[in-house]
Amino acid sequence: MRERSTSLPRCVLRLYVAGNSPNSVRAIANATAICAGNPDAGYRLEIVDLLKFPKRALADGVIVTPTLVKLRPLPVQRIVGNLSDTAEVLLALGDQ
Amino acid sequence: MRSDPAQNNRGLAQRLAEAEATIKALLSGQIDAMVDAESETPVLLFQAQHALRQSEEQYRQIVEATSDGIVKLDLGGGIEFVNPRFGEMLGWPPDGLLGTNLLDLLRPAPSVTLRDALLGRPSAANDEIEATLCHQDGREVAVNLTAVVLADGAGAPIGTLVVVRDVTQQKKLQAQLMVSDRMASMGTLAAGVAHEINNPLAAVIANLDYVASNVEGVVTGHGVMEIPSAAWLAEEVKGPLDDARLAADRVRHIVKDLKIFSRSPDAEVHGPSDVRAVMESALRMAWNEIRHRARVVKVYGQTPLVDANEARLGQVFLNLLVNAAQALPEGQAERNEIRVSTGLEAGRVVIEVSDTGMGIAPEIIGRVFEAFFTTKAVGSGTGLGLAICQRIVTEMGGQLTVTSQLAQGTCFRVALPVATREDAEVAAAPFAEVSASRRGKILVVDDEEIVLRAVKRSLAREHDVEVVLAGARALALCASGRKFDLILCDLMMPVMTGMDLYRELSKLVPQQAGRMIFLTGGAFTPDGRTFLSEPPKENIEKPFDSANLRAIVRRYLG
C-alpha cells in the first residue's frame, strides 16, 4: 500500500529565518512550495525565527539566515540562501 | 579511542562546502541576518535594514497621504513634527509650524481638559475632542482632536501624537441637514396647513358674498326691502361680516404659526420663549396629522420662560407631535391619546409628548436618536428627525430623553434650562381707542392695490390720505415739495423698496424720511432686518386690523 502523507514524515526540515526580511520571506515561500510540490516525499517543515531563538540556531550549527536544515534522514544537511534554485535544493536534500 | 579519518574528512568537506555556500549566498545578497556566536544575539544585515527603511518609508507615505493632520508634540506642547495635511489645514508650509506651541493655535485658549489631553497628562480622556484652530489668515477651523501619549522603551512619556480632523465641511453639512429636515417637516405639513386655511377662508368668502348680494339687492331695489331696518342690517349684514372677521382671524393665527417655523435659521435669535405658545403653534401645524388618529390632552403646569430659538424649538415639538401621531393607527381618534404636558421640575422646564401607541421595543430604544435610524417605511421618514431634535435640544443646554413600554406607548421628554433674562417681549396689546387728535396728511406706499384701498378706507374718515403704488412715485411727490405728516410705506416692493425710498428721502428731504413708518409682511431678508433695527425704526406688522392702525396713526400724529 502507498504511504499516506499523514503517516510519519520521512524528511524533517527546519528553516531558519530573520523576521519578515526579504530573503527570509522568499525562502519560506520557496520551501513551502517545494514541500507542497512533492507530497509523496513526506516532508515536515518547521520554521524558526532567528531573531527570537538565536540559541536554537547556534545549536543547529546555523549562523546565517535563511538556512534550511535537513535533520532527517541523516546526514544533517544545511542549505544557505533563499532557496530560489529548486533543482539545487532538491539535489541537496538527496533528490527525494 | 581513535576517530575514523575517512568520516572526519567527510565532515570537514561538508563544513567547507557549507562555508563556501554561505560566502556565495552572502555575496549574492541572499543573507538577511547572522548570529553573533559570542553574545548569542542576532544581527540584521544591510538588506534587512534596507527592508526596514522601506517599511518606514511606507509609514511616512501613509502619514503624508492621509486626509487627517498628524502632529507630534513634545511634553510642553511644542510642535516637533507635522504632516503636510496639517500645514495645509492651517495655511502653513509644514516647516513653518515647527517649534510653535499647538496650545497657542487654539481659539479660544484651551480648557483644562483639552490641555491635559494634548500634553498627555494621565488624567486625560482618550476621546475625540472638538476644538477650533486658528488659520494663518486669521479665520477659524473647526477640528476634532485625538491625542495619544508617546512613551520611550521604559514607558516614560516623551510627548503626544495628535490626530487632527478638519470638520468644517461636516459642520456645514449638519447645518444643511437641519434646514432640510425642517423643509421636509414643512413639506409634510403644507397640505395640512392649506386645509386649515381653506376652511376659514371658505367662511370668509361665503359670508362676504352673502353680504354683497344682500347689499346689491338693496341698491338695485330687487331685494326683500328697499330701506333696510336695523334688525335686517344686524341679521343680514353685521352677522355675516362678524363671522367673516372671526374666520379671517383664524387665518391670521395660522399664518403667524407659519412665520414661527419659517423664521430664518441663520438669525439664530435666542430669547425668552414661552414653550406653551410654541407648543400651541406646533399643535396647530400638526393638527391635520393628529386629528384622525388621537384626542389631544393638554396639561400646562407652571412653566417659566426658557432661553431658546422659537423656530428651532417649534421644529422639535412638531417632530415629536408628528412622530406621536404616526405611532397611532388612523381612524380611531377616540381610542387614542396624545398627551402634551409642561411643567417645572428641579429648576428646569420639562415638556412631555406622549402617545398611547404600540411603544418602542427595548432592543431598539437605545437607537432612536441615531441619525438615519428609522422604523418607518422607506419614503415616509428620513430617520433624521429625532437625531436633529436631540442636537437642537442639546445646543440649548437641555436634554431630550425617551421612555417607552410595548403596547402602552412612548413618552418623549424635553428638559430645558429656565431663561436667565426675563426681558420677555411684551405681547403687542391692542391699542386703546383714543379719540381723533388732528386731521393729518398721510401718504401710503404699497405695491398691492388691495392693501392701499383697505388702508385708505380705514384712515380716510379721520385724515387726508393719498396712496401711490410705487416708491418712485412717492419720491417724486416729496421731491416736488409736497409735505406729509406721516408716510406709511411697505418695506418690500419691487424696483424701489421701502428701504431705497428711505435712503433717497434722507438725502433729498430728510424731515420726510423721519416721518416714515414701515409696513412689514414678516418674510424679512437679512437686509430688511438690519435696516429696521439699526437704528430702530417704527414698523407695523401685516396683517393689521383697522382699529390698531388708526390708534398707531393717532398716537404718531398726537
Residue B105, SS3 per DSSP:
helix
Q: Which chain B residues contact residue A80 at CB under 8 A? A: 18, 21-22, 24-25, 30-31
Chain A residue closest in CA terms to B22:
A80
Q: Which chain B residues contact residue A62 at CB under 8 A? A: 35
Whether residue B45 sits in one domain with residue B3: no
B209 touching A (Cβ < 8 Å)? no
- Are residues A64 and B31, on separate chains, in Cβ contact within 8 Å? yes
Q: Do B151 and B157 touch, CB atoms closer than 8 A?
A: yes
Residue at A67 is within a domain: yes
To the nearest whole Å, the CA of B121 is away from the closest chain A CA by 35
Whether residue B154 sits in one domain with residue B207: no
CATH number at residue B151: 3.30.450.20
Residue at B49 is within a domain: yes
Residue at B427 is within a domain: no
To the nearest whole Å, the CA of B6 is away from the closest chain A CA by 15
To the nearest whole Å, the CA of B62 is away from the closest chain A CA by 20
CATH number at residue A80: 3.40.30.10
pLDDT of residue A67: 93
Torsion of the alpha carbons at B392, B393, B394 and B395, rounded to the nearest 10: 50
Residue at A16 is within a domain: yes
Chain B residue closest in CA terms to A66:
B31
- Are residues A21 and B35, on separate chains, in Cβ contact within 8 Å? no
Q: Give the number of other Cβ atoms within 10 Å of residue A42's Cβ.
A: 18
To the nearest whole Å, the CA of A78 is away from the closest chain B CA by 7
Residue at B237 is within a domain: yes
- Are residues B47 and A17, on separate chains, in Cβ contact within 8 Å? no
Residue at A3 is within a domain: no
To the nearest whole Å, the CA of B49 is away from the closest chain A CA by 8
Whether residue B26 sits in one domain with residue B55: no
pLDDT of residue A1: 40
Residue B445, SS3 per DSSP:
strand
To the nearest whole Å, the CA of A60 is away from the closest chain B CA by 12
Q: What is the mean pLDDT of residues A3-10?
A: 55
Spatial CB neighbours of B415, under 8 Å, sequence gap ≥ 6: B345, B348, B349, B350, B351, B398, B399, B401
Host domain of residue A34 = 11-92
Q: Which chain A residues contact residue B40 at CB under 8 A? A: 54-55, 58
Whether residue B399 sits in one domain with residue B341: yes
Residue at B428 is within a domain: no
Alpha carbon distance B33, B26 (integer Å) = 10
Chain A residue closest in CA terms to B38:
A58
Residue at A88 is within a domain: yes
Higher local confidence (pLDDT), B280 or A6: B280
Picking from B202, B222, B250, the residue at the C-terminal end of a domain is: B250
Q: Do B391 and B330 touch, CB atoms closer than 8 A?
A: no
Sign of CA dihedral B238, B239, B243, B249: positive
Whether residue B151 sits in one domain with residue B204: no
Chain A residue closest in CA terms to B21:
A80
- Residue B286: closest CA among B359, B211, B385: B385
B22 touching A (Cβ < 8 Å)? yes
Host domain of residue B216 = 171-250
Residue at B553 is within a domain: yes
- Are residues B42 and A51, on separate chains, in Cβ contact within 8 Å? yes
Whether residue B416 sits in one domain with residue B273: yes
pLDDT of residue A4: 42
To the nearest whole Å, the CA of A93 is away from the closest chain B CA by 14
Spatial CB neighbours of B263, under 8 Å, sequence gap ≥ 6: B269, B310, B311
Cell digits of residue B216: 346689491
- Mean pLDDT in order along chain B per 10 residues (558 residues): 66 79 84 84 74 76 86 91 91 87 88 82 70 90 88 77 89 75 66 71 87 82 65 86 87 75 57 88 82 90 87 85 87 88 92 92 80 60 71 87 90 91 43 60 90 87 91 92 92 88 92 90 73 84 82 84
Whether residue B377 sits in one domain with residue B284: yes
Question: What ipTM was predicted for this assembly?
Answer: 0.83
Whether residue B245 sits in one domain with residue B187: yes
Banded pLDDT at A28 (limits 50, 70, 90) = very high
B44 touching A (Cβ < 8 Å)? yes
Alpha carbon distance A16, A65 (integer Å) = 6
Query: Which residue type does B249 have?
Result: D
Picking from B218, B250, B282, the residue at the C-terminal end of a domain is: B250
pLDDT of residue B424: 43
Q: Give the number of other Cβ atoms within 10 Å of residue B228's Cβ.
A: 18
Alpha carbon distance B135, B170 (integer Å) = 18
Structural domains counted in chain A: 1
B403-406 own/partner pairs: CB under 8 Å, 24+ apart = B404/B359, B404/B360, B404/B365, B405/B359, B406/B358, B406/B359, B406/B360, B406/B361, B406/B362
B37 touching A (Cβ < 8 Å)? yes
Q: Do B318 and B185 touch, CB atoms closer than 8 A?
A: yes
Whether residue B220 sits in one domain with residue B180: yes
CATH number at residue B462: 3.40.50.2300
Helices (H), B108-264: 112-118, 168-220, 230-233, 239-262
Residue at B436 is within a domain: no
What does the longest C-alpha to C-alpha distance in chain A come to?
A: 43
- Are residues B26 and A20, on separate chains, in Cβ contact within 8 Å? no
DSSP H or E run through B111: none
Q: Do B307 and B421 touch, CB atoms closer than 8 A?
A: yes
Alpha carbon distance B444, B517 (integer Å) = 10
Chain B residue closest in CA terms to A21:
B48
Q: Which chain A residues contact residue B44 at CB under 8 A? A: 18, 21, 51
Alpha carbon distance B558, B551 (integer Å) = 10
Residue at B431 is within a domain: no
B17 touching A (Cβ < 8 Å)? no
Q: Which chain A residues contact residue B25 at CB under 8 A? A: 64, 80-82
- Are residues A22 and B44, on separate chains, in Cβ contact within 8 Å? no
To the nearest whole Å, the CA of B9 is away from the closest chain A CA by 14
Which residues of A lie closer than 8 Å to B, measured between beta carbons? 17-24, 50-51, 54-55, 57-58, 62-66, 75, 78-82
Angle ∠(B340,B345,B349) on CA atoms, nearest 5: 60
Residue at A2 is within a domain: no
Alpha carbon distance B214, B244 (integer Å) = 15
pLDDT of residue B449: 84
- Residue A24: closest CA among B41, B42, B16: B42
pLDDT reading at A15 higher than 80: yes
Whether residue B450 sits in one domain with residue B353: no
Whether residue B296 sits in one domain with residue B206: no
Whether residue B236 sits in one domain with residue B357: no
For B461-493, the DSSP string reads TTSEEEEESSHHHHHHHHHTT---SEEEEESS-
Structural domains counted in chain B: 6
Strand order in B464-468's β-sheet? B464-468, B441-445, B486-490, B516-520, B539-541
Among B24, B40, B47, beta carbon nearest to A21:
B47
Cell digits of residue B369: 436618536
Spatial CB neighbours of B44, under 8 Å, sequence gap ≥ 6: A18, A21, A51, B32, B33, B52
